[in-house]
A and B are shown apart, each in its own frame.
Chain A
């Protein structure tokens, strides 16, 4: 028997993935454009990239977990089309921000 409902973790971590992807790109712009931001990130772990990775991965796990706890623990509800639109747009946008930034920054 066919079932068209998405599991709550598929939805919650799918949305978290889209958000973390965009934040990943924006963080690149922020640290490369502001020496103070990069120095702060460097100070936190000893290397800006390590801090960058930890922030994005932490955001993904935290937001995914929070979204899964929404609606009394049932998690957020989205149609498959909507989830895929958000997920794919987030990943593509996150990638384009990174590639676009380094294409024009040097």
Chain B
């Protein structure tokens, strides 16, 4: 944003897209688990793995961006009218996302069971998927506020 190359913008878009991919896949797992049967067992397992893979991709790409590109944005935010976009929203996001990665990584482990025949495993998957969706929405919202923090910082330069 603050004088970035097109590649940097693509990296940021990939980070967000994989995060949304994780969110969609997890909602899919949640709905399939509510209707768990022998017919959708394999699908639940595959989609839960896709959620984890998307989250790992979002984490690695976002981590690269955060370490190499974000310092320029951070300077803009801190000098602008919305310093809280970094001081609260980015600071919490960069650590909540580790929690999100843990949850998404655990999802396929919990979903490996036969959820139609095992109500205990089904409950665990529902809780983990629910927490993952909630946290994914929070971090997506954080990302939006951080982007606005840069925007208002640039507009008031």
Residues of A within 8 A of B (CB): 1-7, 9-10, 13-14, 17, 20-21, 24-25, 28, 47, 49-50, 52-53, 56-57, 60, 80, 83-84, 87-88, 91, 94-95, 98-99, 102-103, 106
CB-defined A-B contacts under 8 Å, sample of 11: A3-B114, A4-B120, A7-B112, A7-B121, A24-B95, A60-B105, A87-B124, A91-B131, A98-B92, A98-B95, A102-B92
Q: CA separation between A102 and B83, bound complex, in Å?
A: 13
Main secondary structure of the interface of A (DSSP, over half): helix
User: CB < 8 Å: which of B88, B110, B117, B127 contacts A106?
Assistant: B88
Q: Which 10 A-B pairs have the closest CB atoms?
A: A80-B120, A4-B120, A3-B118, A98-B95, A102-B91, A47-B67, A17-B106, A13-B109, A106-B87, A10-B110
B43, CB-defined interface residue at 8 Å = no
User: CB < 8 Å: which of B87, B101, B120, B128 contacts A57?
Assistant: B101
Q: CA separation between A21 and B95, bound complex, in Å?
A: 10
The bracket for how many chain B residues form the interface is: 20 to 34
Q: What's the least CB distance linking B145 to chain A, in Å?
A: 13
Asked, given contacts A17-B103, A50-B67, whether A84 binds B121 with beta carbons under 8 Å apart, the answer is no
Contact B63 A60 (CB under 8 A): no
Asked, given contacts A2-B117, A17-B102, whether A10 binds B123 with beta carbons under 8 Å apart, the answer is no
B113, CB-defined interface residue at 8 Å = yes
Q: CA separation between A87 and B117, bound complex, in Å?
A: 22
Contact B128 A87 (CB under 8 A): yes
Residues of B within 8 A of A50 (CB): 63, 67
B98, CB-defined interface residue at 8 Å = yes
User: CB < 8 Å: which of A1, A3, A17, A103 contacts B88?
Assistant: A103
B61, CB-defined interface residue at 8 Å = no
